[in-house]
Amino acid sequence: MAHPESCYPSLQTETALSRCAAIRTQLRAANLFADPSVPSTIKPSPNGSVPAVQAETSWRISPCPLLLSRDQLAFFTALGPQLLSFYRALNRLYAESVKGTLPAWVAQYLDQGKPNALVTYSRMKRLRDSLPAVIRPDVIPTQDGMVITELDSVPGGIGLTAAMSHFYADLALQHSALSTGSRHELVGGREGMVRGFASMLQSAQAQQAGCLAILVSEEAKDYRPEMTWLAARLREQGLSAWCVEPRDIRFTEEGLFLKTDSGEQAVGLIYRFFELFDLPNIPKSELVQYAAKKTLVAVTPPYKPALEEKSAFALLHHPILRPYWKKELGEDCFLHLTAIMPRTWILDPATLPPTATIPGLSLGERAVSNWTDLATATQKERHFVVKPSGFSELAWGSRGVSIGHDLSQAEWAGALQKALASFRTTPYILQEFHKGRLFNMEYMDEHGQSMVHMAGRARLSPYYFVTGEKVELAGILATVCPADKKVIHGMQDAIMAPCAVATDNAQ
């Protein structure tokens, strides 16, 4: 399969630089891209319409989106409904495990390390069928196909992908007016992210009257500028939406309230942009939970930490649960997901009987019956990743990740030992490592004012919004890191751009 990641192969350097500079200017004007040469003049407003922090992140800017093939777009389009089916099956698996009609150890693993009060709250009958309404997998394109490394139901990048879709789409229109060369269409189009997010929120709010509050915690403050930009676009769509800090919410026995440009409004829906492990540090978090419990406000994503664990991949691959997954997902969906979700194991330090082995885990032709066997694996044998399963400050942003073949023997053994010792409070997983294929991209050198070619490995992050039974692919964010980086995530040295597909008259 061809990999046409370059949108404009014959783009002149002067034009490419001009495009990159235009994108950078618009990102900075939207307070989404750091500008260290300009002191912050942004001041917070009491209603949250202006961010209290200025953007501090930056990346390498490409003159055009990352191009996908039609087959790749078909893969991503079909993936959304499959992942929604996976969440539904996982939700039922947990519920049936709690009731005892399916193995009790499933719920025990998914609840491991969680406060009892939060577990009890998550099991409320009212939340029984609630699922994340935003689904974002991290997808690594490899030489053998796509691989999903994890799922995120509280993802960053929604506002950033929406903004870049606007900016790149406008540049594409300008280019089309001046050239008869290559053409492309952004995945989701110029407005796909904003419209998809708006539809999802309206569905989640249902009949609950009031405005929308995008609640961004202090820990997630780096994402506040992009969510503030997104809230402004939602207001242009006719929604009363505001990006606020938790302390901006006022609680009464009648519900939650927020000061806006139109005066004080009741809050009908809270979009939770904070992790559940951080609840003790979030002002008024207990009042928000109380209001949701009393149906005074709707909240999405739901307070269901069991659905936010990376160990769900281990459950999908567990042989004892295979009949359940095949029945719930259907054989085709099950086989597809087990092919693209890497084999994963929960690092449980419990001792196995002498005759037992860890299902599916081997070193060459040797079955593994004890994690200490893995600790002595050679560098070629330890193509694995160790990372926290969830509910930890180390479980997001590529924190807490250890890549086996990138570590010395002692470091690898130490990472395993730490993970096993943390099981009671922060379970870790072991996951197969899949190497991403190389992409060839261009970016603007900020200092030399020149275009630079870079070979890098990509993470593709599609954003799916759930509205009732419908799952919409609204956009895909590409993060391309230099080839020598083992962990792919947003960084200063990465190229970040939306994804597009070549039209029929493209090269």
**Helix (H, G, I), strand (E, B), or coil: what is residue 27?**
helix
The span from the CA of 236 to the CA of 201, in Å, is: 15
Angle (nearest 5°) at CA 142 between 137 and 148: 20
3-state secondary structure 480-506: EEECCCCCCCCCCCCEEEEEEEECCCC
Cβ atoms within 10 A of the Cβ of 473, count? 21
Whether the per-residue pLDDT at 179 is higher than 70: the answer is no
Token pair, residue 385, equals 């990743």
Whether the per-residue pLDDT at 165 is higher than 90: the answer is yes
- Percent of the chain at pLDDT exceeding 70: 91
- Per DSSP bridges, beta strands 495-502 and 470-482 are antiparallel
R_g (Cα) of the chain, nearest Å: 23
- Per DSSP bridges, beta strands 66-68 and 495-502 are parallel
> For the residues 286-290, what does the mean pLDDT come to?
96
70-109 pLDDT, tens digit each: 999 999 999 999 999 999 999 999 999 999 999 999 999 9
The span from the CA of 290 to the CA of 279, in Å, is: 13
**The predicted structure's pLDDT at residue 453:** 94
Q: Which helix (H) or strand (E) holds 61?
A: none
96-106 pLDDT, tens digit each: 999 999 999 99
506 pLDDT band, cuts 50/70/90, is very low
- Percent of the chain at pLDDT exceeding 90: 80
**The predicted structure's pLDDT at residue 187:** 97
Range list of H helices, 152-191 = 158-178
β-partners of residue 259 are 264
> For the residues 452-459, what does the mean pLDDT come to?
95
Q: Which of 324-338, 367-381, 453-467 has the lowest mean pLDDT?
A: 367-381
489 pLDDT band, cuts 50/70/90, is confident
The span from the CA of 100 to the CA of 147, in Å, is: 33
DSSP per-residue string spanning 281-350: GSTTHHHHHHHHHTTSSEEES-S-GGGG-TTHHHHHH-GGGHHHHHHHH-HHHHHHHHHHSPPEEE---P
**The predicted structure's pLDDT at residue 135:** 98
41 pLDDT band, cuts 50/70/90, is very low
**The predicted structure's pLDDT at residue 487:** 76
319-334 pLDDT, tens digit each: 999 999 999 999 999 9
Whether the per-residue pLDDT at 49 is higher than 50: the answer is no
The span from the CA of 99 to the CA of 67, in Å, is: 47
397-445 pLDDT, tens digit each: 667 899 989 999 999 999 999 999 999 999 999 999 999 999 999 999 9
> For the residues 34-55, what does the mean pLDDT come to?
56
Whether the per-residue pLDDT at 38 is higher than 60: the answer is no
Mean of pLDDT over the chain: 90
46 pLDDT band, cuts 50/70/90, is very low
Whether the per-residue pLDDT at 1 is higher than 50: the answer is no
β-partners of residue 125 are none
